[in-house]
């Protein structure tokens, strides 16, 4: 699989490393241009290349948008129709400025991105974990107390693809539902930036777990 990354900061570079470690190819981009990514690409090895944002979106089987939310309109929409797009962003007003529709909770950051990328299948994921924990806390499937990460999205096939990638990287997954439900694991919620196993994450999200009786 080839993964295109829009943004190569802490989360982006960590996801790129995990992808390469698991045999995927990555195309990294940032606003400053491919030449500024030569050191990172050299560290990642032969499965990594640098390109423009347009090249990353065009070549990726899955595209990861991992930039400050305020810059979401800079993501090139061309070529993304029908593709799975992972949104790792969070809304931080002190960094992003005030966005009224997020302040009044009439929509979410991932829904803003989805509206901009008309036709793309946006899945919110990887926004609840610190990049150093993402790099170090993955464990084999079946490990007791394995950390779980939440996802939300409107397309079932896209969520299956992201689910598989997260599990490959060493984490369990809790599907919270449609993209709008990403508000349940944004900053300030009990599920945000806390190490939780699957059962604990479901409880933090307020999801009822039914048991046989």
Over 50: is that where the pLDDT of 171 sits?
A: yes
Structural domain containing residue 150: 2-204
CA angle 166, 172, 174 (to 5 degrees): 95
Rounded Cα distance between 23 and 37, Å, is 20
Q: How many CB atoms lie within 10 A of CB 143?
A: 12
CA angle 120, 123, 128 (to 5 degrees): 150
Phi-psi domain of 83 (left: phi exceeds 0; alpha: psi -120 through 50; beta: other): beta
**pLDDT per position as a tens digit, 150-159:** 999 999 999 9
Over 80: is that where the pLDDT of 172 sits?
A: yes
In a domain, 210, yes or no: no
pLDDT number for residue 98 = 97
User: Across residues 112-138, what is the average pLDDT?
Assistant: 98
In a domain, 212, yes or no: no
Rounded Cα distance between 14 and 29, Å, is 14
pLDDT number for residue 208 = 65
**pLDDT per position as a tens digit, 3-47:** 999 999 999 999 999 999 999 999 999 999 999 999 999 999 999
Rounded Cα distance between 186 and 105, Å, is 12
In a domain, 211, yes or no: no
Q: How many folded domains does the chain comprise?
A: 1
Q: How far is the first Cα of the chain from the last one, in angstroms, to the nearest whole number?
A: 43
Residue 54 phi, psi (nearest 5): -65, -40
Largest CA distance in the chain: 61
Task: Name the pTM for this structure.
Answer: 0.95
Average pLDDT, the chain: 96
Confidence at 168, pLDDT banded by 50, 70, 90: very high
| pLDDT above 70 as % of the chain | 97
Over 80: is that where the pLDDT of 213 sits?
A: no
In a domain, 185, yes or no: yes
Rounded Cα distance between 152 and 123, Å, is 6
In a domain, 209, yes or no: no
- Can you give the CATH number for the domain in which 159 is found? 3.40.50.720
User: Across residues 170-199, what is the average pLDDT?
Assistant: 98
**pLDDT per position as a tens digit, 89-99:** 999 999 999 99
Q: Write the DSSP symbol of residue 209.
A: P
pLDDT number for residue 212 = 44
Over 90: is that where the pLDDT of 109 sits?
A: yes
| pLDDT above 90 as % of the chain | 96
Q: Residue 173 pairs with which residues in a beta bridge?
A: 149
């Amino acid at each position: 699989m080839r993964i295109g990354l829009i943004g190569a900061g802490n989360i982006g570079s960590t996801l790129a490393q995990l992808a390469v470690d698991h045999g995927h190819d990555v195309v990294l981009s940032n606003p400053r241009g491919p030449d500024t990514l030569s050191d990172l690409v050299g560290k990642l090895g032969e499965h990594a290349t640098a390109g423009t944002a347009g090249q990353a979106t065009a070549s990726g089987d899955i595209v990861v948008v991992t930039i400050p939310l305020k810059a979401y309109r800079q993501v090139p929409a061309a070529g993304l129709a029908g593709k799975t797009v992972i949104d790792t962003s969070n809304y931080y007003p002190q960094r992003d400025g005030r966005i009224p529709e997020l302040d009044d909770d009439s929509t979410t950051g991932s829904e803003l991105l989805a509206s901009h990328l008309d036709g793309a299948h946006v899945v919110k994921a990887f926004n609840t974990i610190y990049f150093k924990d993402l790099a170090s806390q993955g464990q084999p499937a079946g490990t007791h107390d394995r950390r779980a990460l939440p996802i939300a999205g409107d397309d079932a096939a896209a969520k299956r693809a992201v689910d598989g990638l997260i599990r490959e990287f060493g984490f369990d997954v809790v599907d919270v539902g449609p993209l709008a439900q990403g508000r349940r694991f944004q900053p300030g919620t009990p599920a945000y930036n806390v190490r939780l196993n699957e059962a604990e994450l479901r409880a933090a999200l307020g999801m009822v777990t039914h048991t046989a009786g």
